[in-house]
Amino acid sequence: MKELILEMEEYASEHNVPIIEKDSIKFIMKYIKTNNIKNILEIGSAIGYSSILMASVDKDVMVTTIERDNTRYMECLKNVKKCNFEGKINVVFQDALEVNLTNVKYDMIFIDAAKGQYMKFFEKFKYFLNDNGVIITDNLKFHGHVGKSKNIESKNLRGLVEKIENYIEFLKDNKEFETNFYDVGDGISVSVKKDEKK
């Protein structure tokens, strides 16, 4: 297991795969443990690094993870096999915005895919959360660009950073969820679904 994780970190750095930062995954693993989270949906598997680490927290943790890139999907399947997690991690090869989920509920949704689509992912998948479920989002600092979009010259980059800034505002204003922001790794938000009965 330890060896596989190191192997994946090496693969990611060689192939420019943006896997989660160590402090961030540690934070999420601790959150899973403390809050007794069992069913996780991840948007953006890449090579399975974060899925495998989340699934390793407890024998009862189950992960469904969605990836749209074929090379990464294949690599992810390979890694899931290597640690014998085929029964714990279900890898779906599809664009998350086209996935059809029915009759399933998750305790946690981890959004870690295309940054320009965060709000769409949030609005689509919030219906698949259990009561008091949580949506965690990665890369809210976007390597230090967030909050400084006005100074960015590249139009593409500025557009993307503006989308993340809008997403942060959207989370702050959201009445259905209570969001906390953490300055861990590349920036993480934890949005807990409010109790409707209150």
Binding partner at 68 among ligand SAH, Mg ion, none, C-beta below 5 to 8 Å by kind: ligand SAH
Binding mask of the shown chain, residues 1 to 20, with x at each position contacting Mg ion by CB under 5 A: -------------------x
CA 118 to chain centre: 10
**Applying CB under 6 A, which part among 13-21, 147-155, 177-185, 187-195 lies near ligand SAH?**
13-21
Query: Three-state SS for 39?
Result: strand
Residue 139 interacting partner from ligand SAH, Mg ion, none (CB closer than 5 to 8 Å by kind): Mg ion
**Number of residues counted as binding Mg ion (CB under 5 A):** 4
| Six-digit token string for 191 | 């949005």
Q: Would you tell me the crossing angle of helices 70-82 and 2-15 to the nearest 10 degrees?
A: 160
Among 96, 111, 135, 188, binds ligand SAH (CB under 6 A): 96
Does residue 138 interact with Mg ion by CB under 5 A? yes
Residue among 149, 137, 150 at smallest CA distance from 187 = 137
Provide CB contacts within 8 A for 161, sequence distance 6+.
142, 145, 146, 148, 149, 152
Tokens 């192939």: give the residue: 15
Angle at 55 between CA 50 and CA 58, to 5 degrees: 140
Residue of 28, 41, 72, 77 that binds ligand SAH (CB under 6 A) = 72
Spatial separation of the C-alpha atoms in residues 32 and 113, rounded to whole Å: 20
Using the minimum distance from each CB to ligand SAH, give the nearer residue, 7 or 95.
95
Q: Which does 97 bind (CB under 5 to 8 A by kind): Mg ion, ligand SAH, none?
A: ligand SAH
- Judged by the rule CB under 6 A, the positions of this chain that interact with ligand SAH are 18-20, 44, 46, 49-50, 66-69, 72, 95-97, 112-114, 117
- Judged by the rule CB under 5 A, the positions of this chain that interact with Mg ion are 20, 112, 138-139
